[in-house]
């Protein structure tokens, strides 16, 4: 019967006497006799087999089809054609850069147009499309909206409505100020 | 069984010289093959599978010894190669069989019943089934503590994790095994 290391035994006694008992039954997995003596030979056989296979692959001559394809594309290395290709590549790069700048300008125009819309229109749009906005954006919007409120300019009806909607979030001091 | 640092250095020196590479590798295997084998065997349970996985891992060790930088001990480095090879094998087996957890447990029980290199009774088979349900890392910690009786300090260096988290991991693993037995 095996005696586990003292530390491990004490730990298992506290955590799981069942597992300690199972452990004391001894090793349940066996292996073939002289396994480790033969393991080294098997590993070296595997290494040699891989090296032989790798050596065979390297010795294979390049096939004819490969040479034929390379001959077909040799014209690409001619100066006249390689210069033409370089010019085309340059034009494509410039085109992509110009299109990017256009999209940036469009984005700026969009922001300018949005700024012209009144708050009521913006509010209505947001209410109708609430589910398209993520929570973070909504909270940001709500906090901005709140900071824009000018209570002094609100009429009593507007004030009542605001209090009804936000009473739970407001602290005592703010409520007193509003009243 | 701990190979001393000086011996590790001697082995590495032999392996970095093409003339003495084979001799060095044989010494390396002599030193660590036993521990590495059992690490793999506990993960894959079957001897033939463990043999295949270990051989593949040792070939990788042989091929990549020049890349070993010596930042960790050589056993730690080999241990990681062997463990990764075993995990790859297990993942491939799972993908091939595409079975549910219940079926996997039944398959394991059947395999162990038929395995001439497994001497355990039904309770031991149930333990192996319980271990199969643990996450890989937790199973790894459990095997090292329960079967290898490794200290948490040594495990911490081997797995590059704190002693505290290893203790927690082992305790959770034991709890899950107990719950499995209670089902």
pLDDT digits (tens, 9 = 90+) for B76-125: 999 999 999 999 998 888 887 767 777 777 788 888 888 889 998 999 99
The DSSP code sequence of A47-75 is HHHHHHHHHHHHHSPPPHHHHHHHHHTGG
Whole-number average pLDDT of chain A: 70
Task: Out of A142-151, B98-107, B145-154, give the one with best mean pLDDT.
Answer: B145-154
E strand segments, A103-170: none
Please compute the mean of the pLDDT values over residues A92-107 and round it to a whole number: 71
Handedness of CA B154, B145, B7, B16 (dihedral sign): negative
Q: What is the DSSP letter of A3?
A: -
Q: Select from A4, A11, A50 the Cβ nearest to the Cβ of B59.
A: A50
- Give the ipTM of the model, two decimals please: 0.85
Could you tell me how many CB contacts below 8 A there are between chain A and chain B? 79
Q: Could you please state the CATH topology (level 3) that the domain comprising B1-98 is classified under.
A: Rna Polymerase Sigma Factor; Chain: A (1.10.1740)
In DSSP notation, B124-146 reads: HHHHHHHHHTS-HHHHHHHIIII
Chain B residues with CB-CB distance to A8 below 8 A: 145-146, 149
- Residue B172 vs residues A9, A121, B45: alpha-carbon distances, Å: 17, 57, 22
pLDDT cut 70: percent of chain B above it: 96
* pLDDT score for B35: 94
Identify the band that residue A55 occupies on the pLDDT scale cut at 50, 70 and 90.
confident
Comparing A159-173, B1-15, B45-59, the range with the smallest average pLDDT is A159-173
Task: Select the residue of B119, B120, B177 nearest A19 (Cβ to Cβ).
Answer: B177
Three-class secondary structure of residue B20 per DSSP: coil
Q: Tell me the chain A residues in contact with residue B166 when contact means C-beta distances shorter than 8 Å.
A: none
Look at residue A70 in the predicted model and tell me its pLDDT: 60
| A92 vs A79: CA distance, rounded Å | 20
Q: Stretch B127-155: mean pLDDT, rounded? A: 93
Could you read off the pLDDT of B53-90 as tens digits, one per residue? 999 999 999 999 888 888 888 999 999 999 999 999 98
CB-CB under 8 Å, A19 with B62? no
Distance from CA of A5 to the nearest CA of B (A): 6
CA distance to partner chain A, nearest, from residue B61 (Å) = 11
pLDDT at B111: 85
């Amino acid at each position: 019967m095996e005696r586990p290391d003292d530390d491990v035994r004490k730990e298992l006694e506290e955590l799981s006497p069942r597992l300690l008992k199972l452990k004391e039954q001894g090793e349940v997995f066996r292996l073939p006799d002289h396994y480790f003596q033969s393991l080294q030979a098997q590993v070296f056989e595997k290494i040699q087999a891989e090296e032989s296979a790798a050596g065979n692959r390297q010795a294979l001559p390049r096939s004819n089809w490969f040479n034929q394809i390379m001959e077909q594309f040799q014209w690409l290395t001619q100066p006249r054609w390689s210069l033409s290709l370089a010019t085309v590549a340059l034009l494509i790069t410039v085109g992509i850069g110009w299109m990017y700048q256009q999209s940036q300008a469009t984005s700026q125009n969009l922001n300018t147009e949005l700024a012209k819309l009144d708050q009521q229109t913006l509010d209505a749009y947001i209410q109708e499309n609430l589910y398209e906005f993520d929570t973070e954006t909504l909270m940001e919007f709500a906090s901005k909206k709140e900071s824009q409120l000018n209570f002094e300019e609100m009429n009593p009806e507007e004030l009542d409505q605001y209090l009804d909607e936000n009473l739970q979030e407001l602290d005592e001091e703010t409520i007193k100020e509003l009243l | 069984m701990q190979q001393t640092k000086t011996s590790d250095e001697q082995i590495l020196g032999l392996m970095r010289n093409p003339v003495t590479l084979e001799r060095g590798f044989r010494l390396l295997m002599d030193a660590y093959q036993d521990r590495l084998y059992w690490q793999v065997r506990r993960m894959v349970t079957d001897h033939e599978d463990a043999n295949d996985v270990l051989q593949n891992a040792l070939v990788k060790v042989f091929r990549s010894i020049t890349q070993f930088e010596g930042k960790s001990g050589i056993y730690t480095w080999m241990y990681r190669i062997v463990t990764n090879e075993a995990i790859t094998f297990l993942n491939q087996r799972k993908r091939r069989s595409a079975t549910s957890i219940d079926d996997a447990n039944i398959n394991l029980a059947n395999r162990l019943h038929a395995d001439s290199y497994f001497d355990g009774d039904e309770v031991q088979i149930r333990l192996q089934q319980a271990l199969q349900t643990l996450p890989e890392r937790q199973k790894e910690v459990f095997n090292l503590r329960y079967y290898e009786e490794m200290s948490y300090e040594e495990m911490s260096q081997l797995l590059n994790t704190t002693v505290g988290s290893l203790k927690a991991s082992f305790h959770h693993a034991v709890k899950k095994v107990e719950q499995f037995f209670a089902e």
